[in-house]
Structure 1
Amino acid sequence: MADPSTYRPAPGQIPDSPGVYKFRDAHGRVIYVGKAKSLRSRLSSYFQDLAGLHPRTATMVTTAASVEWTVVGTEVEALQLEYTWIKEFDPRFNVKYRDDKSYPSLAVTLGEEFPRVQVMRGPHRKGVRYFGPYGHAWAIRETVDLLLRVFPVRTCSAGVFKRSQQVGRPCLLGYIGKCSAPCVGRVTADEHRALAEEFCDFMAGRTGTYLRRLEEQMRDAAADMEYERAARLRDDIGALKRAMEKQAVVLADGTDADLLAIAEDELEAAVQIFHVRGGRVRGQRGWVTDKVEDVDTSDLVEHALQQLYGGGDDMVPKEVLVPALPEPLEPVVDWLCTLRGSRVDLRIPQRGDKRDLMATVQRNAQQTLALHKTKRASDLTTRSVALQEIADALGLDSAPLRIECFDISHLQGEDVVASMVVFEDGLARKSEYRRFAIKGFAGQDDVRSMHEVLTRRFRRYLQERQATGEWEVPEAGEAPAPGEVQPGEVQPGEVQPGEEVAAGPVDPETGRPRRFAYPPQLVVVDGGQPQVAAARRALDELGIDDVALCGLAKRLEEVWLPGEDDPVVLPRTSEGLYLLQRVRDEAHRFAISYQRNKRSKRLTASGLDSVPGLGETRRQALLKHFGSLKKLRAATVEEICTVPGVGRRTAEAVAAALASRTPAAPAVNTSTGEIIDDQETR
């Protein structure tokens, strides 16, 4: 815990102008980003007596080790830069809204030759037009099912579409009239795109004109005694009206607005947003956040607007209705107007239908907060209990807030890989995950592999400590500690001679943490006594003695400590054991997925995928029988025929395919002469 007075800027050093500031911790990681109309006034408020600060603010300033700022010209620029840095650095003490669930949207892939209508979740993609988000995916599917009668746009996946093109027959939707079947040429690409654009126009709210046109066509068909066509148009109009009825009319026709409501207590806040387009509720979404800083409702509104419109995924409407106005108001309004390209009315509704609808949004926010607290209260308590139980069982001075777990995966000694997963505060931090391709000839020796992975991970950590001056390479003639890098020595996979090492664990070009910048409080290895001993040996060779270590054996879920003959047995109902199991299982999953990916690429490159009639099951059976692709390549046709399910014709095809492909020569670094191997990748 740092004393804020140790890094407080000197009097008069802070400029009295608009700007954005960053607090960093001892490792250089950005932990808080803020903006201010006057940097001098705002930053001075952080360095008062800790007793006068909000508890969370006090925690932030004692966690920080330095502060820096950037001067900008206007408050609007400060607002934009603050949002950019929050998205880039992901500071732990900033208000960060997270979706309380993944909201689906109706998407039309206009960027494709034959646009497709589908349900999509997650970030918006280029070339896709979105409608929503909706509360439930089934609501989208019901709406699409009604509209396909009138707008028979493609809804099939790329695989189904390609298959229909190859066989020359449409899928079931093409036969029942709910797809125009562009896959078999019933309509041209331009005609199908016109259908997709009409679908988008209808979903965007331009319904009246289209319905009137259909009604006119229906009357003309009846007048011409084309009764079947008139009946079909009548049914189309009914389907469109049923689809429109699913979207409630809440405001006057033509109103475009977003209504934002907030429910909060001292610790958390929930945000609910209703998207109203053309007077109808087109979508709804919600966020929740931990209030890790001292903020009021107006601050929460400002952060919510940044989250909603800053990424460019949501179009700013003419009106944005909020429960409280940001302070100051003018920079936020100017920023919204810039995003929209025209005037935006940001205000609090006072009377009428808009105030009534705001009350409905507020009730939704209150229900969301109550439900979230019901779900999260036990989780927060459980995580704290689990971390403390682990600390007590392993004899640690404090709860391990950062845990790293390592696992080895291979298939009969081939494609040996390892994974490193990170849990912070009991939750997975996937942006910190790493994976390794094992070098050398570790084969099926998990112990050697574990030693190599721990060595590589912590050697990189020491290298970055060296860059900050926290650890120095011994001078010439001085005996280095075991595992330390000798002056001028180049370790495999490390920085080569002539390459620059930027000072500090944060890359000065991107501002992001380096790959192994932060040490864990606890290292967990998947395995028992041998794996733990190998990991301990790797740490000792590097001179690291401030990181706790344990292993979790799968058979009896025993916790092994270095140098101990007997394991630590946690109760089966222990929350600490549950957390260790989750960490271990996540490391195993991450390693398996990487190993399968490498094996799949190797199989694809082997030539077996081009053998007619040889599927995935028999490819795996061949490799399992012979143990490796090299042995399979050396096998005769008769030997291949001994594999269950492989006939002579298939065996001859396999032998011919492998004979026509010679193993690729390893890549060589032309400057060093070393064989290039896979390095650590995210």
Structure 2
Amino acid sequence: MAEFLDQYYTRTAYVPQEVLLPFEISEADALAKYLAGRRGQAVSVRVPTRGPRRELVEMAQRNAVLSLKRAAVEDLSLTRDEAALEELAEVLDLPARPWRIEAFDISNIHGKEATGSMVAFVGGRPRRDAYRRFRVRIAGKPDDYAMMEEVLRRRFSHGLRELQEAKAGGKFSEFPDLVLVDGGKGQLNVALKVLEELGLSGIEVAALAKRQEEIYRPGRKDPIRLPRDSEALKLLQHIRDEAHRFAVEYHRTLRRKESLMSLLDSVPGIGPARRNLLLKRFGSLEELKRASLEELLSIPGFPKSLALKLYKALHQEG
């Protein structure tokens, strides 16, 4: 304890008037003199046995135990992440641990409001500020392969452009060690094609098929199957599922917005300006339906006749 106190107060500029300890130490007098020299006036080193000071000591002990446990959990989590990345490098035959992994997923219903997502994991943990969303631009009803190709091409083309324009640190300029796509050999080949055409064939690629949790890698005829308790498999599943969640979330947002816009377009008298006002104020069809007639009447620029038309249209829906 004396050694800890000596080290602690050597590193800090502030020395208190009173130091409370949970138990007696033989060096108490020497410590008090040392601290008094640092403080410039007398310092008391005490072991309270009751009252508010004892309660303070006990609270400090509890906090120290909690901090120790929290640090142990964080160390264990870090060790697990490192083990998963090490195993992943081994089973996928990668040149090194894939420190940055980017996963891509597509979400659509019969090709409508198709969206793509990109999530990034760094050191085995999500890097949410690096997540990206893409609204698929291909016209008609493209297949999943074409949509995945578009999303991958846009992501890596943006990155190359940022690097060429010396915009290092841009939202796309940091490239992954491993690209993970949701699917089988077909999606794997799409990713390989895009990266090769863009001159990025050095980036490693893997595909994870959900049905049997099989991992596909270039140059391997058969998929890799890992035990269910494999830390590498758990990490890949977590990343794949996060990409899917992120894509579905964006897809639902777009569908809600599309539903609202379709309804508003059907109401005579609601042009672009009023439609944008409603979109900004309510955000979704569900929120607009919850609005009372009084709320609609209170919107600036909405005459009573138009508010009544809108209210009627909303409550004829579904």
Cα deviation, 1:342-368, whole Å, max 9, x if unaligned, reads xxxxxx986677754542342122221
74, 84, 104: which one aligns with 1:406: 104
Q: How is 1:428-443 mapped onto 2 (pairs within 5 angstroms)?
A: 428-441=126-139, 443=141
SS in 2 for 1:367: helix
In 1, Cα distance between equivalents of 2:167 and 2:252: 35
Cα deviation, 1:182-231, whole Å, max 9, x if unaligned, reads xxxxxxxxxxxxxxxxxxxxxxxxxxxxxxxxxxxxxxxxxxxxxxxxxx
In 1, Cα distance between equivalents of 2:186 and 2:64: 53
Q: Which has the higher helix share?
A: 2
Structure 1: runs of 5 or more not aligned: 1-263, 265-295, 303-318, 324-347, 468-502, 506-512, 617-652, 658-682
Matched with 2:167 is 504
Amino acid at match of 1:369: S
Q: Does 1:424 align with 2:122?
A: yes
Q: Does 1:601 align with 2:299?
A: no
76, 84, 89: which one aligns with 1:386: 84
Per the TM alignment, residue 440 of structure 1 is displaced from its structure 2 partner at its CA by 2.1
Per the TM alignment, residue 564 of structure 1 is displaced from its structure 2 partner at its CA by 3.4
Contact 2:159 2:172 in 1 (8 A): yes
SS in 2 for 1:362: helix
Matched with 1:584 is 240
SS in 2 for 1:607: helix
Q: How is 1:71-470 mapped onto 2 (pairs within 5 angstroms)?
A: 356-441=54-139, 443-467=141-165
Contact 1:442 1:448 in 2 (8 A): no
Cα deviation, 1:382-426, whole Å, max 9, x if unaligned, reads 211111111011111111111100000012211100111111111
SS in 1 for 2:155: helix
In 2, Cα distance between equivalents of 1:520 and 1:349: 57
Matched with 2:301 is none
Per the TM alignment, residue 376 of structure 1 is displaced from its structure 2 partner at its CA by 3.2
Per the TM alignment, residue 605 of structure 1 is displaced from its structure 2 partner at its CA by 1.4
Amino acid at match of 2:172: F
In 2, Cα distance between equivalents of 1:523 and 1:466: 22
* 4+ residue runs over 6 A deviation: 298-302, 608-611
CA distance 1:456–1:300, shift in 2 (3 Å): farther
SS in 1 for 2:89: helix
In 2, Cα distance between equivalents of 1:441 and 1:434: 21
Amino acid at match of 2:245: R
Amino acid at match of 2:164: Q
Matched with 1:573 is 229
In 1, Cα distance between equivalents of 2:195 and 2:138: 20
Contact 2:138 2:147 in 1 (8 A): no
CA distance 1:552–1:298, shift in 2 (3 Å): farther
Cα deviation, 1:467-508, whole Å, max 9, x if unaligned, reads 3xxxxxxxxxxxxxxxxxxxxxxxxxxxxxxxxxxx331xxx
CA distance 1:562–1:371, shift in 2 (3 Å): same
Matched with 2:204 is 548
217, 231, 235: which one aligns with 1:561: 217
Identity of aligned residues (%): 40
Matched with 1:147 is none
Greater relative contact order (CA < 8 Å, ≥ 6 in sequence)? 2
Amino acid at match of 1:596: R
In 1, Cα distance between equivalents of 2:251 and 2:143: 16
Amino acid at match of 2:154: R
CA distance 1:322–1:515, shift in 2 (3 Å): farther
Cα deviation, 1:239-278, whole Å, max 9, x if unaligned, reads xxxxxxxxxxxxxxxxxxxxxxxxx9xxxxxxxxxxxxxx
Cα deviation, 1:28-85, whole Å, max 9, x if unaligned, reads xxxxxxxxxxxxxxxxxxxxxxxxxxxxxxxxxxxxxxxxxxxxxxxxxxxxxxxxxx
Contact 2:98 2:177 in 1 (8 A): yes
Amino acid at match of 2:214: E
- TM-score for both structures, normalised by structure 1: 0.32
